[in-house]
Amino acid sequence: PSYMEAIINAGIVYFSIDSFSKALDHFTIACQREPSNALFYYRRGTVKEAINNLEGAKTDYQIAIRLDPENKDYIQALTQLK
């Protein structure tokens, strides 16, 4: 896998085992390296939501929607957050 795939996959694994700090670190790296990738912001938002950083989650979901306005998952995540 590519470097970015490895970063994202590691973030997903960390999230799945409730290692939220490490998941957040990996998704933040992904957002920094590919700031136009909506999925990375969405994934980081899910981590922030899991650690009850609701403002941070809201911001990341809004960025994801701005980058991919047709994605129903992103819209639903933001709607359910409110």
Cβ atoms of residues 44 and 62 within 8 Å: no
Which helix H or strand E contains 20, and what residues bound it? helix 20-33
Supply the pTM of this predicted model.
0.94
Give the C-alpha separation, 78 to 54, whole Å.
Answer: 10
> What is the reported pLDDT for 19?
96
The 10s digit of each residue's pLDDT in 12-64 is 999 999 999 999 999 999 999 999 999 999 999 999 999 999 999 999 999 99
Listed in sequence order, the residues at least 6 apart from 28 whose beta carbon sits closer than 8 Å to its beta carbon are 44
Residue 44's nearest CA partner among 34, 53, 57, 33 is 57
Structure tokens at 11: 């973030």
